[in-house]
Chains A and B, each alone.
Chain A
Amino acid sequence: MSRLNRWENNRSAWLFLAPALVLIGIFFFLPVFASLLLSLTDFDIYAIADSANARFIGLRNYTGLLDNDVFWVAVKNTFYFALIGGPLTVAVSLGAALLVNARLTPLKSLFRTIFFVPFVTTLVAVAIVWRYLYHPQYGFFNYMLSWFGIDPLQWLGDPQLAMPAIILMAVWKNFGYNMLIFIAGLQNIPAELYEAAHLDGAGPFRRFRHVTLPMLGPTFLFVGVITMIGYFQLFAEPYVMTAGGPLRATTSMVLLMYEEGFRWWRMGIAASVAVFLFVIILAWTLLQFRLQKESA
């Protein structure tokens, strides 16, 4: 009876798993693996017509990218966005979480919802809205700057400012998600710790520094990893707001991959950009885990 049961269990388990595993296998893991192979070929528009036209060319796509200025610009822009935008988003998220979670805050769930709304909106739609908010002549941002006597800025038209403008929008769009996770993290900190710190004479700042921050360690790791993985994949914002310009100042790695692969159909080159991105994300994630372990 029990052996039969176990066998039955075993077979039905695989039936339960089959749809998910087959789909993920065929439509995710297989293409990921195929990307590695694709990056070693000169697959281009002729190969789209007939895949017999693709040839194996070893690592030439990779060496070609290393000699390609646009690629390095895209790498630089991607790091700029992730390294400035990521920490900024996490900081704003933590600030919002502390604000919503503060003892004196009324209507906590209302404010939580308000701060979370930008996150659920459609990125393409809000990117279009922000493009108008950044309008040099009629936009709200320049209007608000004028209150402080600051001359109008070109925002998305200025190669120096275009990326900061996109970062600002990304922070606005994404901080609500991390905020929810921080709120959950804050609520998991035992109240006794604060009471003990209070009795030891620690003020609000020192309680934050020595109780809140250390207790949020695992939350920071989770939020940091998720945010950075997402930010390295920057695509829709520059696609909609700047088309990668001006002067390539907002061309990200994924945008470059899209242009190479789906505009010019140079899929071999595009695949090698994708593999570079994968390596960067993997290395960065491992680094974050390592740093967390060392500081803990």
Chain B
Amino acid sequence: MKSQTATRVLLYCALAIGSLLALLPMIWMVSASFMQPGAANTYPPRLLPENPTLEHYRTLFTRLDLGQYLVNSTIVAGIATVLSTLINSMAGYAFAKLRFRYRDRVFRLLTLGLVIPVQVAMLPLFLLMRELGLVNTYWGVIIPALASIFGIFLMRQYAISIPDDLLDAARIDGAGEFRIYWSVVLPVMRPMLATLAIWTFLATWNDFMWPLIVLSDDTMFTLPVALANLAGERVQDTELMMAGSVLTILPVLIVFMVLQRYYVEGITVGSVKG
């Protein structure tokens, strides 16, 4: 009995300290973003703002064009999410449920691609984008994110469990293959579509290296690229940088909080069964 109480105390302490460590950087970020200029650079560091101000948020939107970056990031992540969910689910469904020649061979070839780091493709990809006139455009950022091997895997994994009878019944009713996909397969796969959509949205929103490479004009920058750029120029303005970080993180955090059930499920499906 006594040892159980001791265990409990120890466990609660570990949970409290762990949570504090996980959240402290975020808490300080939010708090510092409301501090007066220079107030974050004091010793000892303060955890709460003394005279909270919205000044830095105002500066970001009026003088530093943050609204534009917000729009850029939203367009890029939004289009990539919608299109890639469609494209990956179509491919995943075909690998899982349609019979065709070379199916296993094509699938194995794709598997090989999983161990190739994306950076290996980036140099020629940049030259290719330049040939296509897509450098410094939204599409230059979006196109490489439109189809993902991982996404196809996730979809295939889930589509395998769709009963063949369901599809055959629709075929007997005379539905075309695309009709079947649209009105039978997609509704069944909805939870997994949500997972993949969130996954893609977070990944494209947070992505840094490729947008950094393919975007050259600062009116086209996505938030992470703009923020990294700003961090170089305004390194002294701690509070301003924190406000910029808050605005970059906030949208993904909201998306995650609202839809986390799907997201968490997807991660475990992809790993344990995959």
Residues of A bordering B, CB below 8 Å: 5-6, 8-10, 12-17, 19-21, 23-24, 26-32, 34-35, 38, 96, 99, 102, 104-105, 111-118, 120-126, 128-133, 135, 137-140, 143, 146, 172, 176-177, 180-181, 183-185, 188, 219, 222-223, 229, 232-233, 235-236, 239-240, 254, 257-258, 261-262, 267, 270-271, 274-275, 277-278, 281-282, 285
Chain A contacts for B14, CB-based, 8 A: 99
In the complex, residue of chain A having the shortest beta-carbon distance to the beta carbon of B25? A129
Please name the residue on chain B nearest to A285 by beta carbon.
Answer: B115
Structural contact, B90 and A270, CB atoms closer than 8 A: no
- The answer, among A118, A120, A143, for a CB contact under 8 Å with B43, is A143
Given A16-B98, A121-B253, A185-B272, A143 and B44 contact (CB-CB distance below 8 Å): yes
16 CB-based A-B contacts, threshold 8 Å: A10-B99, A20-B88, A28-B118, A31-B122, A32-B124, A102-B11, A104-B4, A117-B22, A118-B26, A125-B248, A126-B25, A126-B29, A132-B238, A138-B43, A172-B22, A176-B22
Residue B64, interface by CB 8 Å: no
Which chain A positions have C-beta within 8 A of B95?
17
**Bound Cα distance A126, B21 (Å):** 14
Query: B162 to chain A: closest CB distance in Å?
Result: 14
The 7 closest A-B pairs by CB, nearest first: A34-B124, A20-B91, A12-B177, A31-B121, A16-B94, A13-B98, A125-B245
User: B93 and A16: CB pair below 8 A?
Assistant: yes
Chain B residues positioned under 8 Å from A133 (CB to CB): 25, 28
- What does DSSP make chain B's interface, helix, strand, loop or mixed? helix
Q: Report yes or no: A32 in contact with B116, Cβ–Cβ below 8 A.
A: yes
Contact (A124, B123) CB under 8 Å given A21-B106, A28-B113, A129-B25: no
Q: How far is the CA of A31 from the CA of B124 in the complex (A)?
A: 5
Q: Is the CB of B45 closer than 8 A to any CB of chain A? A: yes
Q: Is the CB of A125 within 8 A of B25?
A: no
Interfacial residues of chain B within 208-241, with CB under 8 A of chain A in the complex: 208-209, 213, 223-225, 227-228, 231, 238, 241
A9 touching B25 by the CB < 8 A rule? no
- In the docked arrangement, what's the CA distance between A130 and B28, Å? 10
Chain B stretch 126-151: residues in CB contact (< 8 A) with chain A:
126-128, 143-144, 146-147, 149
A235 contacts which chain B residues (CB < 8 A)?
119, 208-209
Query: Known pairs A20-B91, A131-B231. 16 more at Cβ < 8 A?
Result: A12-B176, A24-B113, A27-B128, A31-B125, A31-B128, A99-B11, A111-B15, A114-B22, A117-B22, A122-B223, A132-B40, A138-B40, A146-B44, A219-B271, A235-B208, A257-B123
CB pair A122–B43 under 8 Å, yes or no, is no
Closest Cβ of chain B to A66, distance in Å, is 19
Q: Which chain B residue shows the least CB distance to A5?
A: B171
Find out whether the CB atom of A104 lies under 8 angstroms from the CB atom of B248.
Answer: no
Minimum CB–CB distance from B123 to chain A (whole Å) comes to 5
Chain A residue, CB-CB nearest to B245: A125
Q: Indicate if the CB atoms of B123 and A24 lie closer than 8 Å.
A: no
Residues of A with C-beta under 8 A to B202: 120
**Is B19 close to A, CB under 8 A?**
yes
Q: Interface-forming stretch among B54-62, B186-194, B260-268?
A: B260-268
> Which residue of B has the minimal Cβ distance to A278?
B120
Complex interface: chain A residues within 8 A of B268 (CB):
180-181, 183-184
A17 touches B117 (CB 8 A): no
The answer to whether B115 touches A282, judged by C-beta atoms less than 8 angstroms apart, is yes
B13 to A: closest C-beta gap in Å? 11
Q: Using CB atoms, name the residue of chain A closest to B223.
A: A122
Q: CA of A172 to CA of B26 in the docked complex: distance in angstroms? A: 12
Do A129 and B171 touch (CB < 8 A)? no
CB contact under 8 A between A19 and B15, given known A27-B128, A31-B124, A125-B249: no
Q: With A14-B100, A262-B213 known to touch, is A137 a contact of B43 (CB < 8 Å)?
A: yes
Most buried by B among A24, A114, A123: A24
Cβ–Cβ contact B147 & A130, under 8 A: no
Determine the distance from Cα of A132 to Cα of B244 in the docked complex, in whole angstroms. Answer: 14
Indicate whether A23 sits within 8 Å of B245 (C-beta atoms), given known contacts A9-B177, A35-B123, A285-B115.
Answer: no
Chain B residues near A177 (CB, 8 Å)? 267
